[in-house]
Amino acid sequence: MKEKIKDFITLEFPQNISAVYVIFFVKNNKEVPFYVGETGRFLGRVSDYLSAKPTASTDFKVGEAIKHLKEKGYKIIIKYKPSKDRKREQNEIIKAFQNSGHSLLNELKVKKYTDKDFNENEERERIKRFIDNILTK
């Protein structure tokens, strides 16, 4: 049995933490931030982005942006740190990135699934255009 699992990657079972985080894509070996978030359930939040359900507008927005970047060949990474005051820290990080010239997905308002005029494909295209604009900078 040991022989069969020797090539497995080991991951210590993580705790669900309260955190602030930044999602980056890697372009020309440089990490470019495109979203800053905060959560009380870090692992669950990452999973939400993988599913990108349109019923949760932020999950949909971030998840679709990640899919779009990955389809274009970009590597996506997340950096996070535990936080006791995550909303304040998130706002400070957003302002710092914006002040240094970065556009962030946080700025893009998407329609909610419950809005009468919500159209999943239109929202997806708006997200892609926003990301494409970041890529051209």
Q: For residue 5, what pLDDT is reported? A: 84
pLDDT for position 53: 94
pLDDT in tens, the chain (137 residues): 667 888 888 777 777 789 999 999 999 999 999 999 999 998 899 999 999 999 999 999 999 999 999 999 999 999 999 999 999 999 999 999 999 999 999 999 988 888 888 899 999 999 999 999 999 98
The whole-number pLDDT of residue 45 equals: 92
Tell which residue, 137, 136, 35, has the closest CA to residue 93.
Answer: 35
> Tokens 């494909």 — which residue?
121
Report domain extents, the chain: 15-136
From the list 58, 71, 47, the residue with the least C-alpha distance to 106 is 58
